[in-house]
Amino acid sequence: MRWRELRILAFDTETTGLYPEEGHRVIEFAAVELRLDAEGKVADVVRHEWMFNPGVPIPRDVTEVNHIRDEDVADKPAFSVSGGAIHALLTGSLLVAHNLPFDQRFLTAEFGRLGLRWPVTAAEVDTSDLSRLFFKEARSHKLGELCTRLDVPLVEAHRAGNDAEACGRGFLVMADRFDAPAELEGLGDWGDVILDPPATGHMARNGEGVLAFLEGAYEGQAVEAHPEILAWIGMARERREGRWDWRFPEQLRRWSARWLRVRAAGRFPQHMKGFGPLDWGIDPPLGAAAAAST
């Protein structure tokens, strides 16, 4: 599948703070569809924008950044009114955002209040990661600095619609400049883009769209709840024909390492450990014979 043929949806949020776990809420959401022509150039831009009454005061320091005041959202609906439409818009799209995990955390919290999970997407691109990958010597990887390097206009930064469009256009410029593969499957290795894992029989999406382990002690449980298992997958070996060999396929090891870099940085301590599950203080995750074989 060619990724340029998918719905490319760049999005951004403005929030009342930094931590959804502490009750901070989304006050603005924007998603910008970048529709490409046969040559891969932007032919049309479709904006989807919402503002919400968060039900809590907007702190002054937040208003100083995004210029959204309490009176601007006083007559706006709650997120719950449009949450389903936003969820449907994200579903199946190639998502692009700058510092994507931040927006994902907030939207996941908002969706959770509606009984919804994070949607199943075609791919998730973080332009902050791309900036660090392709501009290693840059002092700043903020969206504004990235846009300057790419000669992408960004007018009235820190408003969701403007940031989203600049982010999406920046991704397309980097895709051209740094030779992104045409096929969706190649984006993972090219730019640490999150895709579904390879079909190796170890994990897949369940009926609810949740990526889950398919066997072992954590069978049926969400992959994101056990990042330590992904770390173990990346280093586990077993004895085969008189020598130590990798226990899991290379493509699954690469996917696991990528997921940890992009999604789980800082979520659990990483220490030098051995190859067996017992060294990690866990049960064998994918096969009861793992401990014995290592």
The active-site residue, picked from 24, 98, 141, 158, is 158
- Runs of H (alpha helix) within 135-186: 143-150, 160-177
- For residue 128, give both structure tokens: 């902050």
Strands annotated E in 123-281: 123-126, 203-205, 211-213, 237-240, 243-246
CA distance 155 to 142: 15
Report CA-CA distances (Å) from 196 to 187, 245, 246.
Answer: 12, 25, 21
13 burial (CB, 10 Å; 0-12 / 13-18 / 19+) is buried
Check: CB of residue 200 under 8 Å from CB of residue 249.
yes
Report CA-CA distances (Å) from 2 to 90, 123, 161, 181, 190.
Answer: 18, 12, 26, 9, 14
- Runs of H (alpha helix) within 114-154: 127-134, 143-150
Check: CB of residue 91 under 8 Å from CB of residue 121.
yes
- 158 in active site: yes
Bridge partners (DSSP) of residue 244 are: 239
Check: CB of residue 197 under 8 Å from CB of residue 255.
yes
**Element (DSSP H or E) covering residue 263:** helix 250-263
- Active centre residues (catalytic): 158
